[in-house]
Amino acid sequence: MEGQKKYTIPAMLRNSFAEYGINQSLVFAGDENRTYSQLEKEINAVVDQLIDLSIVKDDKVAILSANMPNWGIAYFAIATIGAIAVPILPDFSITEISNIIIHSESKVIFVSDNLFNKIEQFTSDSSKIIIRIETIGKISNPDLTNYRNNHDYYQSVTVEEDDVASIIYTSGTTGKSKGVMLTHKNIVWDAEHGGMIQKITVNDRFLSLLPLSHTYENTLGLILPVMFGASVHYLKKIATPAVLLPALQAVKPTTILSVPLIIEKIYKKQIEPKFNKNVLIRSLYKFQPIRLLLNRIAGRKLMKTFGGRIHFFGIGGAKLDGKVEKFLREAKFPYSIGYGLTETAPLLAGAGPKITRFQTIGPAMPGAELKINQPDQKTGHGEVWAKGPNVMKGYFKEPELTKEVITEDGWFKTGDLGLFDKKGYLAFKGRLKNIIVSASGENIFPEEIESVINNFRNVVESLVIERKGKLVALVLLNMEEMEAKYQSLREQAELYNKKLDDMLEELLDELQLYVNSHVNKFSQVQVVLLQQVPFERTPTQKIKRFLYS
C-alpha cells in the first residue's frame, strides 16, 4: 500500500480488502482458511452484532483474550463503528482487570474461554455484555428490550483521524497502570511509517508470539501486516517448545516480533552451553576466527529452527543483552532492534537488519522527531523527547498526568535516558526513574551494570538495586548447568551440597571482581546475592523493579 490517504483503521481496512482480497489474512498456524475477502465478511458480521447491541461511537469495548484470529476480527469491528477498543493484557490479575473494565466504562467484554474466570464477577452486571470470542456468541443475556436498532445511525457515523481508537492500559514496572488513549492516526500512521524501516509485502508471513493487547504486537504485528496484505499466524496453545517448534516449521515465518527475553533464553539455554561443554571447545571459542566460524554454524541452525525463511526478527521492549547481540551479529541472524513506548503507538526509532549497529537502536523513524533534552555536557546523556503524529492523545481521565508528560509544544517526555552516536543512531541508557544517585552525586545506570553481569558465565539475568546506601546485585544463575558438573555425586547428598555451595560462593565472588573491573568506581557492586527464583515480570516481560527495591 503506497501512502495511506486517511489515517483511520476503517480506511486502512477498505484499502486492504480492495487490494488483497484473495490473499491469506489472519489464521491459526497450519491453517490456510481465511482470505482478506473472508476477513471482511467476518468483521462485518461482528459489526452488525455490536450495532444490534446498541454500541455507538466512542463506547468502550474490552478485549480480554489469548491471541487468535478472532481477536483481530473483534478489534477491527470495534474500530469500524467508531467505538473504542480496550485491550487487556491476559496476565493482569483479576483485580487489575476489574479496575480496567470499570475505569474504562467498557460496555462489552470479548473474552476467551481460558480467561473467563477473570471476569466472572461481571456476569450478573446488567450493564455489561460478555461475548465469547471463540464463537462471537453472547455469554451473558442482558435485557435488550430497550435497545434501539442503530443501523441507520451507523450509516451516518464518520470515523476521523483524531478519534480515539484504543485505550491501552500500560503494564509499567512501577506498579500502576495508566490508560493510554491512542487515536486512529497514532496507530495507522505509526504502522505505515514502521513499514518504511522494513518493507512488508503480500508474501510476508508473521508468526504472532507477543500479546495482541500490547501496542507493540497490536500496531506492528496486526495493523502493519494487514495494511500491506501479509498473513498473520497464531498459535492455538501457549508457546511452549512442544507447540512453537512444529508451528515454526509449518508456518515458515518471514517476520517475528519478540522481546529480548525470548532470544536471550534461546542463546543461554541452547547455544552458549554448547560452546562451554568441554575445555577444548571453550578454549577454541576464545580465538576470533574460530568463534566466528562456530557462531555462523550456530546461526544457520538457529535460522533452520525458525523455519528457514526469517528475514526480520524484531526485538523491542527492553535492552538486548550485549553478549547475545554480539552472537546474533556474528551469526548473521537478521535481527532488528526497535524503540518506542505505548504512548507513541509504539515505534519511535529502529534500523533494518542490514544496517544495525552494535548496542544501539537506530535513527528516528521517518516522520518522527527525537531529541535529547538538556544533554549532559560530558556524556551526552539526557532524557529522550519525542514528537510526531504517533504521540498519544493523553491518559484517559488523567489530564494533569498528561500535562506532566506532554509539553505545550507537543514534545512527549519518554522517561528514558539516551544519546545519539555520530551516525544519528539512538542508544538507550536506561529509565530515568531507575537511576541511582551515589553519595557523591554521580548518576549510576543499573541497566548498564546488569548488562556486564549478564555477560558472565552461568548468569541468566540480574537486577541491580540500592539497599542501605549500597549497590546490590541480585543474580539468577543457570543452576541446571552448574548442578550437572557434580551429577556423579548426587547420591552423596552431603558432599554434593557442599561442593555446590562452595562453587556458588566462589562464582559469586569471582562475578563481583569481574563486574567491578568492568565498570567505573561509582558503579561498583558492594554485595552480590543469589536470586533463588526467576524475577517477577510484567506481561511484556520487563522485571518488576518496584518489587525488589
Mean residue pLDDT of the chain comes to 91
Domain boundaries, the chain: 9-183, 255-308+310-387+411-431, 436-547
Higher pLDDT residue, 231 or 443? 231
Q: Amino acid identity, residue 37?
A: S
Confidence of residue 33 (pLDDT cuts 50, 70, 90): confident
| pLDDT, tens digit (0-9, with 9 covering 90-100), for 181-224 | 999 999 999 999 999 999 999 999 999 999 999 999 999 999 99
| Rounded-to-integer distance, Cα 484 and Cα 458, Å | 12
> Do 53 and 83 meet the contact criterion of CB atoms below 8 Å apart?
no
pLDDT at 89 exceeding the cut of 90: yes
pLDDT at 243: 94
| Cβ-based neighbours of 261, under 8 Å, separated by 6 or more | 318, 537, 541
> Which tens digits make up the pLDDT trace of 226-278?
999 999 999 999 988 899 999 999 999 999 999 998 999 899 889 988 888 88
> According to the model, what pLDDT value does residue 440 have?
72
What is the rounded average pLDDT of the residues 316-329? 92
Higher-scoring residue by pLDDT: 482, 396: 396
Banded pLDDT at 279 (limits 50, 70, 90): confident
450 close to 463: Cβ distance less than 8 angstroms:
yes
- Residue 357, SS3? coil
Percent of the chain with pLDDT over 90: 72
Q: What is the pLDDT of residues 36-58, one digit of tens each?
A: 999 999 999 999 999 989 999 99
Instruction: Output Rg (C-alpha) for the chain, integer angstroms.
Output: 25
State how far Cα 352 lies from the chain centre.
Answer: 18
Mean pLDDT of 511-539: 92
Q: Please, are residues 80 and 10 in contact by the beta-carbon 8 Å criterion?
A: yes
Within this chain, domains 255-308+310-387+411-431 and 436-547 share the same CATH topology:
no
Superfamily (CATH H level) for 255-308+310-387+411-431: ANL, N-terminal domain (3.40.50.12780)
Residues 194 and 216: their CA atoms lie apart, in Å, by 11
Q: What is the mean pLDDT of residues 363-376?
A: 96
Mean pLDDT of 507-518: 95
User: Does position 425 have pLDDT exceeding 80, yes or no?
Assistant: yes
At residue 149 the predicted structure's pLDDT band, cuts being 50, 70 and 90, is low
Highest mean pLDDT among 141-150, 176-185, 497-506, 508-517: 508-517
Confidence category of residue 2, pLDDT binned at 50, 70, 90 = very low
0.85 surpassed by pTM: yes
CA distance 233 to 235: 7
Cell digits of residue 378:
560530558
- pLDDT for residue 351: 96
Torsion of CA 90, 96, 97, 102, to 10 degrees: -160
> Alpha helix locations (H) across 105-229?
151-155, 184-194, 215-218, 224-227
Residue-level pLDDT at 500: 81
Considering 386-395, 490-499, 503-512, the range whose residues carry the highest mean pLDDT is 386-395
The model's confidence at residue 3, banded by pLDDT at 50, 70 and 90, is very low
The grid cell for 293 is 566460524
The answer to whether residues 185 and 392 touch, using CB atoms and an 8 Å cutoff, is no
Q: What's the average model confidence in pLDDT over 277-290?
A: 90
Strands 426-431 and 382-387, by their bridges, are: unpaired
Res 108 pLDDT > 70: yes
Q: Which residue has the higher pLDDT, 91 or 229?
A: 229
* pLDDT tier for residue 174 given thresholds of 50, 70 and 90: very low
Q: How many angstroms separate the Cα of 235 from the Cα of each of 75, 126, 302, 458?
A: 18, 34, 20, 31
Percent of the chain with pLDDT over 70: 94
Average pLDDT over residues 464-489: 84
Beta strand spans in 400-480 (E): 412-420, 426-431, 436-437, 443-444, 459-467, 470-477
Higher-confidence position of 259 and 156: 259
Which superfamily does CATH assign the domain made up of 436-547 to?
ANL, C-terminal domain (3.30.300.30)
CATH of domain 9-183: 3.40.50.980
Higher pLDDT, 54 or 4: 54
Tell me what the mean pLDDT of segment 128-134 comes to.
95
